[in-house]
């Protein structure tokens, strides 16, 4: 009897601590693009625009997961009792739309330090990348994203900043516009979107971006460009 009461108490404790995390599904993005869960947490997807079926890329991690085709204002819930690795999923509406559910990092997971301050890039898109600068005294990560405009193909530079937690940082992204070379024009910095970066170690990371202004959403791996000796 005592053992049964202990089990029931443990179940009630887990139930009390479990949370429901909302993900909003738009026509071209998920918001947020990455959620971190603990055992027992539920993720609730709410469709804001369009029609979407949620498709897990590692279905073995989520037995019984089946959202069906969801239309505007419809929701789908899934309780994650035991997720051992990052689950990547996408929308049936647009192939490029991807997001992730991440298990709570272990206490000894990789943490931020000055070794991350370097250039990083995706080997599949050579010629563009990010320059990270971590400031330990204020626990702030900044990033300069050198890429190209999705329509014109012209150079596009973005600036991002955010506060890291464990091995992850979510940064608000700004797109400076209005300037001219060596001229005093006023530069404005409107919001462009958001980028979340998970660092596996000081040489490898995964980035998830949500460029709501340009209707962009997706993911890409990152590899450190230089100063590899500092990772030892």
* Average pLDDT rounded to a whole number, residues 211-230: 78
What CA–CA distances, in Å, run from 52 to 34, 57, 93, 145? 18, 15, 6, 30
Structural contact between residues 161 and 173, judged by C-beta atoms closer than 8 angstroms: no
Per the document, the length of the chain is: 232
Q: Is 1 or 52 the better-scoring residue by pLDDT?
A: 52
Q: Describe the strand order of the beta sheet including 87-91 as a list of residue ranges.
A: 34-37, 98-103, 87-91, 52-56, 69-70
Which pLDDT tens digit goes with each residue over 164-209? 988 889 999 999 888 888 888 788 888 898 999 999 888 889 999 9
Which pLDDT tens digit goes with each residue over 93-102? 877 678 889 8
- Phi, psi angles (nearest 5°) of residue 229: -60, -25
pTM: predicted TM-score of the whole model, two decimal places: 0.68
In the structure, what pLDDT confidence band is assigned to residue 227 with cuts at 50, 70 and 90? low
* Average pLDDT rounded to a whole number, residues 71-82: 94
The contacts of residue 1 (CB under 8 Å, 6+ apart) are none
Q: Is 112 or 161 the better-scoring residue by pLDDT?
A: 161
Q: Is 45 or 190 the better-scoring residue by pLDDT?
A: 45
Task: Please give the pLDDT value at position 55.
Answer: 94
Task: Please give the pLDDT value at position 8.
Answer: 45
* Dist CA 110 CA 202 (whole Å): 8
Q: Is 28 or 24 the better-scoring residue by pLDDT?
A: 24
Which domains are seen in the chain, by residue range?
16-103 (2.60.40.420), 114-225 (2.40.128)
Query: What is the residue-wise DSSP string for 168-180?
Result: EEEEEEE--BS--
In the structure, what pLDDT confidence band is assigned to residue 9 with cuts at 50, 70 and 90? very low
Task: Please give the pLDDT value at position 113.
Answer: 80
Task: Please give the pLDDT value at position 42.
Answer: 96
């Amino acid at each position: 009897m005592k053992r049964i009461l202990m089990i029931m108490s443990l179940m009630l404790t887990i139930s009390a601590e479990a949370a429901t995390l909302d993900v909003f599904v738009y026509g071209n993005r998920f918001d947020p693009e990455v959620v971190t869960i603990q055992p027992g947490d539920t993720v609730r997807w709410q469709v804001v625009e369009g029609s979407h079926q949620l498709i897990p890329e590692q279905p073995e991690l989520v037995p019984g997961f089946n959202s069906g085709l969801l239309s505007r204002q419809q929701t789908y819930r899934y309780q994650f009792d035991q997720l051992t690795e990052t689950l990547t999923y996408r929308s049936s509406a647009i192939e490029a739309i991807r997001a992730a559910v991440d298990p709570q990092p272990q206490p000894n997971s990789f943490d931020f330090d000055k070794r991350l301050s370097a250039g990083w890039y995706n080997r599949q898109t050579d010629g563009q990348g990010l320059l990270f600068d971590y400031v330990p005294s204020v626990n702030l990560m900044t990033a300069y994203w050198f890429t190209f405009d999705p329509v014109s193909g012209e150079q596009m530079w973005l600036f991002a900043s955010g506060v890291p937690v464990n091995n992850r940082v979510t940064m608000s992204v700004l797109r400076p516009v209005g300037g001219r070379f060596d001229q005093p024009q006023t530069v404005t910095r409107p919001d462009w979107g958001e980028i979340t970066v998970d660092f596996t170690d000081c040489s490898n990371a995964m980035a998830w971006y949500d460029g709501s202004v340009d209707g962009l959403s997706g993911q890409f791996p990152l590899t450190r460009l230089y100063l590899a000796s500092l990772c030892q």
